[in-house]
Structure 1
């Protein structure tokens, strides 16, 4: 039996068992995944791991109540269904719950045109070890790198099938390749580290191991001699490496689940400016060879390109069926789910419009301020948008980078910050969030 046929058989068994146990409606998901990862250090293999298995999940709906169960034993399907129905009978009633109507389901379920699965020969553990060793060697070859903490390579393949009592029956296969390196410069209290890493659906699209290792080394050496920046109000340039995180706070705030709970700092912003004029934030779910692409969501609705923000104006929320019903709106086909949880809203690929200036142009124009290249910790008030995060990066004087900085905190309010951004033109392909470097005027830096 093929991988897909076996998964279809499992979801069919789950639905049959759910009906027999008394469910009004049900949907089931089956996953078959295999992953290999290799870590090297000091020119030798440090750790290798292979994980594989099948996981199944069942959601049952009964009189406005729902429950989810998951497991890895196909022999326990009847017990899973009985347990799920018993749990649903004790759950609170939510009249917004329910599967898609049959007429809402997509008829386009052939994901082959998205090219999400690498059919070329799977890399062997020896192949992965060789790639990691080459990345490590390239990092160590950068003058000033004292050691490589780790270099890692991995590969994953996954098959998924989703089926519902409403007639939904669809699935897809995905693959992923990854490679990263973490380098260290200095010793003792003067030690600094940085990293580089890439991931692709297809091995042929991966950068070379040498380029990844070299970049990790160069980034690390640039951090030598880092010290605290001054305290005050300064412009901050979010480097392309971290700028997606800033836009991610906006994406989280327009998630229908947060809006329906009233726990979003943009809950009253529909139709209002949330970015400067000229900025578009577009979801692109059908990009070929991108790991987050999909033709249909976890509830079987057809996905499509949509604007979250158009010319700076918020266009809509990110919705699945249940949150859409709570807000009196149609789903935006953004349901995501795992085997152990019900659907919830989530995005696929996002692209923020780029500016005309280069990153160097923005650095020159900012005069005196901070470039942020990494962040740690966070204190974000989901209701007010008040923002405070630990950061490190580089200090700028007279439009020139002077030295690396660490151990500082940056703060502001997201609603105000996002209305004061200027975009560079350096967004990179292959990222689920394609966002360029972003200059934010007038934030607070707490350093020395």
Structure 2
């Protein structure tokens, strides 16, 4: 979408009575290829573009969105935003204030192949992944999920003060599901590879890791009920912490939905734990040079040596609570101003990972019901889990059919150690060494 068109919309909004205005545009296009039974079952090319307008008049905020930019649609867009403002409550602290003369271009060369992927490349990869996976074991069934995709995204921000921001990104993904049936038992595991360049995708990882865990867990049995140290896989650790991510939200603190509301600069976790939000981490796929208000982003320390240091803030929440703005504003074309994070980075502690070779722990690589079985207010959680019992660094038996439960606020204080080697989750937005949580309740045999 042309900046000239967006400037025109801002001008129309101001001429019709808006005192302040800004626009967010999210646009994307993708190619998705799926293979099933040795044939391409789906080849989809899609694109989308959504424009969101926010106006402020008489300290009241109104918004509206559209997917086209012809003159008639623009007229309706502006009218709806101004009409919606009439019926909103007054909010003196929400302002559009970022002013910058030069265009901020957050696009980085590391995000791109110079050319688009050829359809034949995507098709060949999808077919090969399925073929090579099925060749590993005669007991494998046709994978229910198997494909390759190319994804291109663009975000634009523009306001009435002349601030203009643009950011583009490109990603490739391949994935497969190993579905194994043997002796009337069934096991499935899905693995994905994600990269910014097609040549960096690892279809072999998808094949080998999905089969490794499907095969490894098929003979799984329950642990004896008791208390066990827990080590989550990086994917599951990211998910576990995300369940309770509202603890870092200034907006939830304002709404009295954050149990850590009055805990700033107090110890809330083990003193081993340091968590940073890192929007400029180049290997992170939540990389972003600007936030939802057009501010330049920077690292935000959330927890430092167990002490809560910051919430996620935008300009409104920082004024409301009297805190520093962390430039973590979020806003999609269809949503109001909010707060949120980008890439999470957990600081290593140990000089190496040899400490994880001592003793016994339950390694969780799969779960069911983690979100539905958790309460972010009380901190209580309960979910079904599968993985491996590890003794002295070796997986000694597969585990499934157990339920892990506890309280997040207690568990996060009872970390026995944090490793050295930082690993990424499969979406490349969470980076952490191994973390060992002490003595969680596991219900099994």
**TM-score normalized by the length of structure 2:** 0.91
Write the deviation string for residues 106-152 of structure 1: whole angstroms up to 9, x where unpaired: 9682324x335414221133211211222223322334651222211
Could you tell which deviates more after superposition, 392-401 or 313-322?
392-401
Rounded Cα–Cα distance in structure 2 between residues aligned with 1:332 and 1:359: 33
1:344 corresponds in structure 2 to 338
Cα distance change on mapping 1:329 and 1:144 into 2, 3 Å? farther
1:198 corresponds in structure 2 to 193
Pairing partner for 1:39 from 31, 34, 59: 34
For the 8 Å contact 1:139–1:215, the answer to whether it is kept is: no
Q: CA RMSD in A?
A: 2.3
Shift of 1:67: 2.3
1:310 corresponds in structure 2 to 304
Cα distance change on mapping 1:71 and 1:407 into 2, 3 Å? farther
Shift of 1:323: 1.6
Cα distance change on mapping 1:230 and 1:96 into 2, 3 Å? farther
Could you tell which deviates more after superposition, 9-18 or 143-152?
143-152
Cα distance change on mapping 1:130 and 1:387 into 2, 3 Å? same
Rounded Cα–Cα distance in structure 1 between residues aligned with 2:376 and 2:8: 41
Shift of 1:38: 0.9
Rounded Cα–Cα distance in structure 2 between residues aligned with 1:79 and 1:188: 63
2:260 corresponds in structure 1 to 266
For the 8 Å contact 1:115–1:288, the answer to whether it is kept is: no
Rounded Cα–Cα distance in structure 1 between residues aligned with 2:129 and 2:354: 28
Q: 2:154 aligned with 1:162, yes or no? A: no
SS at match of 2:144: strand
Write the deviation string for residues 393-419 of structure 1: whole angstroms up to 9, x where unpaired: 123467643332223221111111111
Pairing partner for 1:375 from 345, 367, 371: 367
Shift of 1:370: 2.1
Shift of 1:247: 3.1
Shift of 1:245: 2.1
Q: 2:56 aligned with 1:64, yes or no? A: no
Matches within 5 A, 1:14-33: 14-33=9-28
Pairing partner for 2:81 from 67, 78, 84: 84
For the 8 Å contact 2:217–2:398, the answer to whether it is kept is: yes
Matches within 5 A, 1:327-406: 327-356=321-350, 361-362=355-356, 364-367=357-360, 369-377=361-369, 378=371, 379-396=373-390, 400-406=394-400
SS at match of 2:358: helix
Q: 2:296 aligned with 1:299, yes or no? A: no
SS at match of 1:384: coil
Write the deviation string for residues 381-400 of structure 1: whole angstroms up to 9, x where unpaired: 22222222222212346764
Could you tell which deviates more after superposition, 411-420 or 283-292?
283-292
Matches within 5 A, 1:250-265: 251-265=245-259
For the 8 Å contact 1:354–1:435, the answer to whether it is kept is: yes
Q: 2:45 aligned with 1:50, yes or no? A: yes
For the 8 Å contact 2:98–2:294, the answer to whether it is kept is: no
Cα distance change on mapping 1:426 and 1:373 into 2, 3 Å? farther
**Structure 2: 5+ residue runs without aligned partners?**
none
Write the deviation string for residues 286-319 of structure 1: whole angstroms up to 9, x where unpaired: 2235321122111011111232122221111111
Matches within 5 A, 1:236-255: 236-249=230-243, 251-255=245-249
Shift of 1:176: 1.1
For the 8 Å contact 1:253–1:266, the answer to whether it is kept is: yes
Pairing partner for 2:432 from 422, 431, 435: 435
**Structure 1: 5+ residue runs without aligned partners?**
1-5
Pairing partner for 2:126 from 96, 113, 132: 132
Shift of 1:333: 0.7
Write the deviation string for residues 423-444 of structure 1: whole angstroms up to 9, x where unpaired: 2334325821102222111211
SS at match of 1:439: strand
Rounded Cα–Cα distance in structure 2 between residues aligned with 1:16 and 1:144: 65
Write the deviation string for residues 176-229 of structure 1: whole angstroms up to 9, x where unpaired: 11111111111586111002112122334323x223212211121111112233
**TM-score normalized by the length of structure 1:** 0.90
1:420 corresponds in structure 2 to 414
Rounded Cα–Cα distance in structure 1 between residues aligned with 2:438 and 2:268: 16
1:3 corresponds in structure 2 to none
Pairing partner for 2:218 from 198, 207, 224: 224
For the 8 Å contact 1:106–1:301, the answer to whether it is kept is: no
Q: 2:438 aligned with 1:445, yes or no? A: no
Rounded Cα–Cα distance in structure 2 between residues aligned with 1:98 and 1:40: 49
Rounded Cα–Cα distance in structure 1 between residues aligned with 2:98 and 2:392: 61
